[in-house]
Structure 1
Amino acid sequence: MTTVTSPRLLAHPARDEIRLEDVLHALADPMRLRVVRELAAGDTDLSCSDVELPVTKSTITHHFRVLRENGVIRQTYQGTAKMNGLRRDDLDALFPGLLDRVLEAAQNQERRLAGL
């Protein structure tokens, strides 16, 4: 795990430390999957407040931390904002096609459930 040397630097696992079971755990939660879908849909990093979730601020912080600690997103500070980006390159290199299939399945499920 990357060493944190300042409160403004956040620990992220190195690519070779990311494990499939940890990524799947992070993606298994509907709120975290929603965050990942929003990050994947955009072409820029988003702040935590850019992603609207129907949960408390502390719960949102928890979800972003789980995604970061399991190697799904990278968080950096830009001024006072904590910016979030999908670690697509790392995930695609380690688990080719996984992220695309998960995102596709989530979209298919959303369509299926909307038809109920």
Structure 2
Amino acid sequence: MEKEQLEKITREYQMLQEQLQSLAMQKEQFKEQKAEFAEALEEIEKAKGRIYLAVGGIMVDVDKATATKSVKEKQDSAQMRLGITEKQFDELSKKEQSLRVEITAALKELKE
């Protein structure tokens, strides 16, 4: 393998690592959101009095069913985004692993 080609693959590998790091952070954010929404649903179920929902920059008084529906929709959205992010992460991980093997083989070839 040519040295220039190895450098190109190495740059691609580094970009993949950055993308993987970014996706890992996104995965954590979506997991945290899901946990927050689950906790919010528990609190809504326990609520005896008024329930307020943040809409934009204001708080709106809503009934229990509306609050539950809104939080469940947000929870479902976070779950969907988490699934997409995990799939992207898995695909990039496989590509990263493949490039790592390719780089290792090329480095061995250059040493010989």
- Normalising by the residue count of structure 1, what TM-score does the alignment of the two structures yield? 0.27
Greater RCO, CA 8 A, separation 6+: 2
- Could you say which structure has the higher helix fraction? 2
Q: Which has the larger radius of gyration?
A: 2
